[in-house]
Every structure is written in structure tokens, then in C-alpha cells.
């Protein structure tokens, strides 16, 4: 029998017969390790303990202490155990697929009757019984004919279709959790008892078309979440409760910021309060870009398909574009245009006007560009995923030698903006060359090295995502962490050697010859709409004073104070504050409560005592007490606080 050599994380290695399993490797190291083992990683590939290993490589034995592989297996096995529980309770239900997702999994079922909340409780109880049984998990590789016959006999049409989609020659791996079987690529745990019975929860049911196709059957999708232990589950459920309180859609109604309606799906109707926040954020970003050396432009929203064909978007992005057909006078056929889904090709058109020299580079062109992309109705979610949005988009045209410097400048700007907006923590991911790409390896080497060197000038805690770069160049992605620990991907920085060639962008070099510029795509916020949703949820609607749409409400305690209320409002407005009076015939406690729901940061209460003394009573949002200040002092205090962070002394 041939031998293979397996290397371990500590640098040691051992020889084993070819075909040895990871479980046998773990046993050879220590029986205690074999008992705790849940899977293995072989040359970076996650494998099942039961799979044979036929070639030498680097191996790591995983246990529940290894968070990433442990969570993947736990959630994957929970999906199978849930599907088994469903079929044990309702044998006529047909099963489909159950992938792992963020924090948990889902599984789609074909069932005539809708699942109810009570049903979820029954399924959870059955799952706990299966876990307690400690049923073994086993796997076999079957040929295609055997698998087809098996599922035909059991009347599982969805599994038969999945087999048709698996390429010829690829293994069909069958897994059993006890006596229940599923088609799955694995890996899985060794037995159901390795699942933490107190660390999972079924959350909700939703409809989902089979394979996401609206022409296919509508299925029922059950979602679940799972963690390694009860404490992690409890922490996540607490976070979900807090997230529900912060839901920007709920706060949008309470604060009268925006709404959506069926006549314009995925398009935002901004109300005065919401549009105020939008304008303040846009003004702040415009000032930051001007200081950073960007020149603002504006490009058309409707562009002929010819440009999209040249850029490559028509072929790669057509299904996400809104098409506009125009009957041109005297034309034999309609002219096909599209609402722009992105700004890049239009920015190249601005660059191409007039001859450019190396002395003109880098040229930084910025646009708050209105874009439209088709999103399915099921994927849209408030401001977070819309069909019409504005990007804080910019493109830097530069030489190859300028990539590193421009990237470093951008990282400084991005970090400063995020800090100003209340996000102190963000992560950076460097995505490198994919298998399918344009450009030479030499150019890719240069671009990747430049981006990595630029990051290291600012910070050294970044991760590399191999093979996930764009086809035209490597990219950086930036993930913010909000007040309750959620991550949001917002900013991006991409090096593009392809589009300048496709759209014939050039500059005259120092040698007098023509050269192609590098095009750096970059965004800080991403889309204004989505970022505003993130901001609203991060602050739970309690925006800093400079962004708050209603900064100050001056409320009368008695009607005799109304004249003074209006004098105070006038003084605040003269100082540049967004102030409004509330002289309704309501009790002051009612007014305070109502404006607190609307997340007004400052409420000035005025009664006759304040009128006679020329003072105001200042109450801050969420504060139980109040302070009495002179009118001049409160104007000075609020004015200083309301200054945008980039304009403060």
C-alpha cells in the first residue's frame, strides 16, 4: 500500500497509508483528540473525518474550540437534523436544500399546509430528541444511477433535479443522520450528539421559489440560528432584540423621514426630515472631497446601449439594468438606452474630453451619481437595498506608479470620514486576482503589491481574500462595525486596468508617447440610501446634533409664554440651528414624550419663570433632568455642538 505524508500545524509530520481518514489520524495522535474531533482541514479545504485521504498535504484536526469550522459544521448539521425532524413529524413533506448562512441556516420544504409558530416549537422539540439520541452520522459515495433510483423510489423530485444539476463525473455524496438521509457535499459531525441542544433556535418561516425562479413552485423556508454554546445564542438574541428596536424602517416612520409605495418599488420618497439628513451628509462629503483634491462632475442618467456594450456592462450586467426605448424622429427602429447602473463609463467620457498629459495625473473625478439597478421584490429591504440610489462615487485616473500613493491618501480620507460619522472600527479585506481575469501577471503583481503596501502605511490588521478580486484588478473592501457589533460593507477601492483600454482612455507620458491610465474606482459611503439606513440604526435614531433633522424644539408650558417661545426660536434660527416652536395647548410632559419619540436631541421648555428671567430649561434626549440656562448660553452651547465635525475649530 502506498504511503502519504501529512504535516501538522506544529511543524511535525507523519507517514500514513493512502486512504487513511482524518478520524484515524486524530486517533493516532491521541484518543482524547479523536473524541473531541469534529472535522479536519486539508491544505485549507474543510473535510469530513470519514473521508479517505489519498495524497500528502498539511492537515489540521478541528474541534469545537475552532470557531469557524465548528460553526459551519454545527449549522450544517442543524439543517439536516431540522429536515429530519420535519419529515418525522410530517412524512409527506418533500425536502429540497438547506445551506448555511449568516448565524445559522435555512431549509426549503414543499408542504401543502403552511408552517405555524406552534409548528416551529414542535420541530425544535423533535430536534432535541434527535440530538439526545446521539445517532451516528455516516457517508457514502454513490454512482448517479443508484442515487436516481433511490430518490425516485422515495418520491423526492427536488433531489432528482439537484442530481441533474451536478456535473457528470462529480461525486454524489450521501449522508445519513441516523436513518434519515440527504444528498450533500459535506462535511458533517460524527454524531448528532455533538450538536449543542441549548444553542439553537428556529426563528421564522418565509416563502421562497424553488431555486429562486418565480416560474417554479413556491416553497416554505424555515430559518434557524445556532452557536457553539448557550451564552453565544443568548447574546445574539439580545442583539436581534436591539436591532429590532433600531430598525431604520420603524424609526423612519416615527421620525417622519421617508416612505416607500407600490407605485415606485425600491425608490425612496424622502420627507422633509429625511431629506435634511441627506443634504447634511451630502454637504459634509462634498467639503471633504474638495479638500482632498477631487473635482465634482455630473453625468447623464440615461445612456445609449452602445456605451454599455463598449464598457462590457451590457453583456455582464444587462439583467440588472433598466432599459429605456425611445422613438427617435425619423429613425427606422427604436433607440435603446439604459438608466445607468453605475457611473464608471460616464466618468471615462469626461476624462476623454481633451488631451491629457502625465502632468494632469492623478485626476480625481467625483460624482454623487444617481444609479438604478433592478433588484427582485423579495430582496429589497428599506433603505438597505433599493432600486434607485446615489453613490458617493469617484474615479482616480493615474499612472501605475501613483497607485500606492493614491490608495494611501484614500485610506486616510476614509478612516477620517468614518470616525467623523461615529464608526471607530472598520476592517479591510484585500481581494486578489481571480482565475478569470484580464491583464498580465506583471500588472497584477504591481497592483496587488501597491494596495498591500498602501494598507501597511496605515494599519497592518487586514485579511487577504484570495481569488476574489474583480476581473480587471484587485480591490479593497471596507467593513464597518456598528454600535451593536454588526458589520456593514460600505467602502471600496478597486484598481482597474481594463476599462481605460475598452473605452480608449489615454495620456501623453513624459516620453512623449501615448499610455493608458490606471482607473481607480473608489467609494466611502457606498450608496447614500444604504449608509443613511446604517447611520439611523447605529445611532438608534438619536443622531448627533449636526445631522439631526429637528435639532431643537422650543415648547411652551403655558400659553402666556408663546411670544417668548417664538423669540427663542428666531434667535436659534439666526444662529443656524434647525429650531421649531411647539405652542399647542398640551401638557409639557406630553410634548416632551412626543418629541422624544421623534428623537429630537434638545427640547427647551419655557414657562413664565423662564419668560421673566430670560432663560430656558434645556432637556436632552433620554435625560431625566433639565438645566436652566440663559438664552445666550444655550445658543452658544447648541451652536458649537451643531457644527459638522469637519468645520469645528
Q: Could you read off the pLDDT of 243-257 as tens digits, one per residue?
A: 999 999 999 999 999
Residues 365 and 289 in one domain: yes
Residues 486 and 528 in one domain: yes
DSSP code per residue over 159-187: HHHHHHHSPTTS-EEEEEETTEEEE----
Is residue 425 situated within a structural domain?
Answer: yes
Give the total number of structural domains in the chain: 4
Compute φ and ψ for 287, nearest 5 degrees: -65, -40
Residues 556 and 522 in one domain: no
Q: Report CA-CA distances (Å) from 263 to 374, 380, 389, 553.
A: 15, 15, 17, 34
Residues 428 and 283 in one domain: yes
Q: Report CA-CA distances (Å) from 566 to 182, 560, 563, 612.
A: 72, 12, 5, 15
Residues 615 and 518 in one domain: no
* Residue of 433, 446, 521, 578 marked active site: 521
- The C-alpha atoms of residue 492 and residue 384 are separated, in whole angstroms, by 17
Q: Is 344 a catalytic residue?
A: yes
For 505-630, where are the alpha helices, taking DSSP H only?
Answer: 528-538, 562-574, 588-597, 608-613
The domain boundary, picked from 498, 519, 539, lies at 539
* Residue of 177, 313, 437, 475 marked active site: 475
Q: Is 395 a catalytic residue?
A: yes
Provide mean pLDDT across the span 280-285.
Answer: 98
Predicted confidence at residue 317, as pLDDT, reads 82
Domain that holds residue 527: 259-539
Q: Is 475 a catalytic residue?
A: yes
With vertex at residue 646, the alpha carbon angle to CA 648 and CA 643, rounded to the nearest 5 degrees, is 50
Predicted confidence at residue 332, as pLDDT, reads 67
Lowest mean pLDDT among 57-71, 226-240, 319-333: 319-333
> Would the pLDDT of 439 be above 70?
yes
* Residue of 184, 344, 407, 490 marked active site: 344
The domain boundary, picked from 539, 563, 580, lies at 539
**What nine digits make up the cell of 300?**
447623464
Lowest mean pLDDT among 161-170, 549-558, 586-595: 161-170
User: Which CATH number is 575's domain given?
Assistant: 3.40.50.800
Predicted confidence at residue 510, as pLDDT, reads 95
Residues 360 and 263 in one domain: yes
Under 8 Å CB-to-CB from 515, ≥6 apart: which residues?
358, 399, 506, 507, 508, 509
Predicted confidence at residue 531, as pLDDT, reads 96
Is 603 in contact with 589 (CB distance < 8 Å)?
A: no
Is 394 in contact with 346 (CB distance < 8 Å)?
A: no
Helix and strand numbers, DSSP H then E, in the chain = 20, 35
Residues 201 and 234 in one domain: yes
* Residue of 48, 108, 392, 393 marked active site: 393
- The C-alpha atoms of residue 340 and residue 313 are separated, in whole angstroms, by 10
510: nearest Cα among 399, 588, 388, 594:
399
Provide mean pLDDT across the span 281-286.
Answer: 98
191 is annotated as contributing to ligand binding? no
Provide mean pLDDT across the span 574-588.
Answer: 96
Is residue 475 situated within a structural domain?
Answer: yes
Residues 387 and 270 in one domain: yes
* Residue of 347, 356, 395, 437 marked active site: 395
**What nine digits make up the cell of 334?**
427604436
Predicted confidence at residue 331, as pLDDT, reads 62
Provide mean pLDDT across the span 171-196.
Answer: 92
Residues 350 and 432 in one domain: yes
Predicted confidence at residue 196, as pLDDT, reads 95
Q: Is the pTM of this model over 0.75?
A: yes
User: Which CATH number is 49's domain given?
Assistant: 3.10.20.30
521 is annotated as contributing to ligand binding? yes
E strands, 378-455, in order: 388-398, 426-431
Is residue 252 situated within a structural domain?
Answer: no
- The mean of the pLDDT values for the chain is 93
User: Which CATH number is 482's domain given?
Assistant: 3.30.930.10
* Residue of 181, 194, 220, 391 marked active site: 391
Residues 529 and 561 in one domain: no
- Residue 1: band (very low, low, confident or very high) from pLDDT cuts 50, 70, 90: low
Amino acid at each position: 500500500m502506498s504511503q502519504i505524508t501529512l504535516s501538522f500545524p506544529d511543524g511535525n509530520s507523519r507517514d500514513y497509508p493512502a486512504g487513511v481518514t482524518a478520524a484515524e489520524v486524530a486517533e493516532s495522535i491521541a484518543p482524547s483528540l479523536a473524541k473531541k474531533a469534529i472535522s479536519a482541514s486539508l491544505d485549507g479545504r474543510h473535510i469530513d473525518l470519514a473521508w479517505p485521504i489519498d495524497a500528502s498535504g498539511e492537515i489540521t484536526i478541528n474541534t469545537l474550540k475552532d470557531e469557524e469550522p465548528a460553526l459551519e459544521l454545527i449549522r450544517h448539521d442543524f439543517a439536516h437534523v431540522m429536515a429530519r425532524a420535519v419529515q418525522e413529524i410530517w412524512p409527506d413533506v418533500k425536502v429540497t436544500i438547506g445551506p448555511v448562512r449568516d448565524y445559522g441556516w435555512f431549509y426549503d420544504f414543499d408542504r401543502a399546509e403552511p408552517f405555524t409558530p406552534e409548528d416551529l416549537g414542535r420541530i425544535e422539540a423533535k430536534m432535541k430528541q434527535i440530538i439526545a439520541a446521539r445517532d451516528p452520522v455516516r457517508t457514502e459515495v454513490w454512482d448517479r444511477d443508484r442515487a436516481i433510483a433511490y430518490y425516485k423510489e422515495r418520491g423526492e423530485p427536488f433531489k432528482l433535479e439537484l442530481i441533474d444539476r451536478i456535473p457528470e463525473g462529480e461525486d454524489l455524496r450521501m449522508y445519513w443522520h441516523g436513518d434519515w438521509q440527504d444528498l450533500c457535499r459535506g462535511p458533517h459531525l460524527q454524531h448528532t450528539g455533538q450538536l449543542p441542544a441549548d444553542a439553537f433556535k428556529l426563528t421564522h418561516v418565509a416563502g421562497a421559489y424553488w431555486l429562486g425562479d418565480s416560474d417554479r413552485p413556491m416553497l416554505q423556508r424555515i430559518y434557524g440560528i445556532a452557536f457553539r454554546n448557550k451564552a453565544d445564542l443568548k447574546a445574539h438574541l439580545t442583539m436581534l432584540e436591539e436591532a429590532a428596536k433600531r430598525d431604520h424602517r420603524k424609526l423612519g416612520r416615527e421620525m417622519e423621514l421617508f416612505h416607500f409605495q407600490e407605485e415606485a418599488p425600491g425608490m425612496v420618497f424622502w420627507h422633509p426630515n429625511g431629506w435634511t439628513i441627506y443634504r447634511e451628509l451630502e454637504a459634509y462629503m462634498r467639503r471633504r472631497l474638495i479638500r482632498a483634491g477631487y473635482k465634482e462632475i455630473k453625468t447623464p442618467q440615461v445612456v445609449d446601449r452602445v456605451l454599455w456594450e463598449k464598457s462590457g456592462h451590457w453583456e455582464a450586467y444587462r439583467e440588472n439594468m433598466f432599459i429605456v426605448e425611445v422613438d427617435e424622429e425619423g429613425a427606422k427602429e427604436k433607440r435603446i438606452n439604459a438608466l445607468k447602473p453605475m457611473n464608471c463609463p460616464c466618468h471615462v467620457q469626461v476624462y476623454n474630453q481633451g488631451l491629457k498629459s502625465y502632468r494632469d495625473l492623478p485626476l480625481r473625478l467625483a460624482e454623487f451619481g444617481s444609479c438604478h439597478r433592478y433588484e427582485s421584490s423579495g430582496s429589497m429591504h428599506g433603505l438597505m437595498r433599493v432600486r434607485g440610489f446615489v453613490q458617493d462615487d469617484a474615479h482616480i485616473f493615474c499612472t501605475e506608479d501613483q497607485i500606492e500613493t493614491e490608495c494611501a491618501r484614500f485610506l486616510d480620507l476614509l478612516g477620517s470620514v468614518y470616525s467623523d460619522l461615529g464608526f471607530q472600527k472598520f476592517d479591510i479585506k484585500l481581494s486578489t486576482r481571480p482565475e478569470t481575469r484580464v491583464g498580465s501577471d506583471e500588472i497584477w503583481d504591481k497592483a496587488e503589491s501597491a494596495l498591500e503596501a498602501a494598507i501597511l502605511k496605515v494599519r497592518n490588521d487586514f485579511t487577504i481574500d484570495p481569488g476574489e478580486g474583480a476581473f480587471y484588478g484587485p480591490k479593497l473592501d471596507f467593513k464597518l462595525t456598528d454600535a451593536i457589533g454588526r458589520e456593514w460593507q460600505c467602502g471600496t477601492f478597486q484598481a482597474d486596468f481594463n476599462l481605460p483600454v475598452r473605452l480608449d482612455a489615454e495620456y501623453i507620458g513624459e516620453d512623449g508617447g501615448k499610455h493608458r491610465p490606471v482607473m481607480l474606482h473608489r467609494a466611502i459611503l457606498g450608496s447614500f440610501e444604504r449608509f443613511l439606513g446604517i447611520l439611523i440604526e447605529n445611532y438608534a435614531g438619536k443622531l448627533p446634533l449636526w445631522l439631526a433633522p429637528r435639532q431643537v424644539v422650543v415648547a411652551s408650558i403655558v400659553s402666556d409664554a408663546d411670544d417668548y417661545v417664538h423669540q427663542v426660536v428666531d434667535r436659534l434660527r439666526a444662529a443656524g440651528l434647525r429650531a421649531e416652536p411647539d405652542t399647542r395647548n398640551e401638557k409639557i410632559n406630553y410634548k416632551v414624550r412626543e418629541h422624544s419619540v421623534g428623537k429630537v436631541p434638545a427640547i427647551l421648555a419655557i414657562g413664565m419663570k423662564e419668560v421673566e428671567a430670560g432663560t430656558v430649561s434645556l432637556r436632552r434626549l433620554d435625560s431625566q433632568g433639565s438645566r436652566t440656562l440663559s438664552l445666550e448660553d444655550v445658543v452658544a452651547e447648541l451652536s458649537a455642538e451643531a457644527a459638522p465635525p469637519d468645520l469645528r475649530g
